[in-house]
Chains A and B, each alone.
Chain A
Amino acid sequence: MVVRRFSRGVLLAVVAVLVLSPVGARGGPLEVMQGSEIFTPPSDSEIPKGPFGDLVRKGERIFTQTGRFARHYVGNDLTCESCHLDRGRKPYAAPLWGAYVLYPRFRSKNHMVNKLDERIQGCFRFSMNGTPPPVTSETMKALIAYSFWMSRGAPVGVKLKGQGMLSLPKPASSPSVLRGKKVYVARCALCHGMHGQGRTSHGGQVFPPVWGKRSYNKGAGLFKVSKLAGFVKMNMPLSKGDTLTDQESWDVAAYVDSQPRPAKPRKRSRS
């Protein structure tokens, strides 16, 4: 299903990889996922010197080590990168370059910036089970600068391939928690643990918790089975995206989201 979207050249490459590999390759076509059709954000070496570049780098640090650099706003053991893989660059993991241009109607800079602020605040409240940083905070400014930088050169006003998460077609049979548990044990527990607790090494979190007190709360985007199914399909097991069937992705998403996690925080008026 993903294959269809690749150009013929890429397809040939995929076939070559599969045929030439001596061992039955389990990795799917995603092995060459970032084909020429997918937007490539500017590389690190292009980050300019000076205050803007500094802000971009700061944004990246917050994004990848959120608990360390934005401690006050974080209420669990995740980082932004836990879901927005490859430092917010990976297609189909809601990449920042896709986010920035998602709101093309907000042409005037301020307006566009405000909209993104709110989206980021949402991820802090729900996905990070924390407190949203104020729009004027250094944390927010740095994250906005980082997103802005990453979208440099991205066409505005068109739907970019790899933007957001994949929306998976409805499965043949309705998602089953029971079947999902089997998939979880076979394909996920190695890293996320039998109890969804994740794993640490030398005191630091390596594999993030997928449920329980230290994971995302019930207001988060991934608490929707369809969203989680799309995320899992393209990104999990890590480095083995697109190896679960659609049905397995739905089932395992149903299982993960049936497990306990923090409640959705009560509505609050925002200024």
Chain B
Amino acid sequence: MKTTFSALFLAAGIIAIPGPSGAASLMDWGRHVAKAGNGKPGGTACMECHRLDGGGMPSIGAPRISGQPRQYIAREIREVKEGKRYGPVMAGVVQNLSPRDIRAVALYYSRAKSPKLPDVGPSDPALVAEGKHIATRGFWKKNIPACVQCHGPNGYGVPPLFPYIAGQNRTYLLRQLMAYAFLKRQDDPEGLMRGIARRLTMAQRKAVAEYFSSLKPPVRDVP
């Protein structure tokens, strides 16, 4: 085992590109997959949609993923692969990722840094204000706690399984709320997000998406 590892390490060292197995550090391999795909047929580079720094693409609703908890990123990819998480676009690009590829990209993107990328079109201040109210106070009449009670102050996330939502793009946020409420994103722990998304009205979903997309994303605080 050990000898195989060091042999590979040597080989990788000589040809100086990160190899697919034990050779290169997980981090280097993650970056490689993000940039160029894993080299297998059908492999797509993550950066085509999420950018190399993980800032995402607001114009097509591809989420920012830089700085999300490592465990969360890995979980979402696995769930898409197994058909448990609704991800119509992702489903087409993750099928040939190996468990190690997934660990590698999760590590890489959890450490990547990107500023908030502008959303398409200006935000509506009235919606932002309504969204802020729900985000910080909840809508308990329908048994909806404040979003920040689970997503952390300012929506910065609570690792490992509560993603940050602050600074995420508006299109993606709204799509996810719809997916939890009506479509097949059904793998959320304990059905927490499904319950909440379903109880929000359409106007409220828009408002919270508008609010969280108007915030700055967190600067990562966990190793």
Contact = CB atoms under 8 A, between A and B. Distances in A.
Interface string B69-113: 000000000000000000000000000000000000000000000
B152 A239 contact: no
Contacts, number: 80
A241 B143 contact: yes
A90 B138 CA distance: 12
A190 B191 contact: no
B142 interface: yes
Interface string A30-46: 11111000000000000
A31 B191 CA distance: 13
B141 A27 contact: no
Contacts of A187: 190
Interface string A82-93: 000111011000
B189 to A, nearest CB: 5
Contacts of A240: 190-192, 195
A206 B191 contact: no
Nearest to B198: A21
Nearest to A27: B195
A201 B152 contact: yes
A239 B198 contact: no
Contacts of A87: 137
Interface residues of B, number: 31
A243 to B, nearest CB: 9
A233 B138 CA distance: 20
Interface string A200-241: 111110110000000000000000000000000000011111
Contact of A90 (B140, B192, B198): B140
A87 B143 CA distance: 13
B143 A190 contact: no
Contact of A31 (B143, B159, B182, B221): B143
B156 interface: yes
B92 to A, nearest CB: 24
B192 to A, nearest CB: 6
Interface in B175-223: 182, 186, 189-192, 194-196, 198-199, 218, 221
Nearest to A239: B145
A-B interface, 7 closest residue pairs, ranked by CB to CB distance from nearest = A201-B152, A86-B140, A27-B195, A26-B191, A201-B158, A206-B158, A34-B141
Interface of A: 21-23, 25-27, 30-34, 85-87, 89-90, 187, 190-191, 199-204, 206-207, 237-241
17 contacts: A21-B198, A25-B195, A31-B143, A32-B143, A34-B143, A86-B140, A86-B145, A187-B190, A191-B150, A201-B221, A202-B152, A202-B218, A202-B221, A206-B150, A207-B158, A237-B190, A238-B149
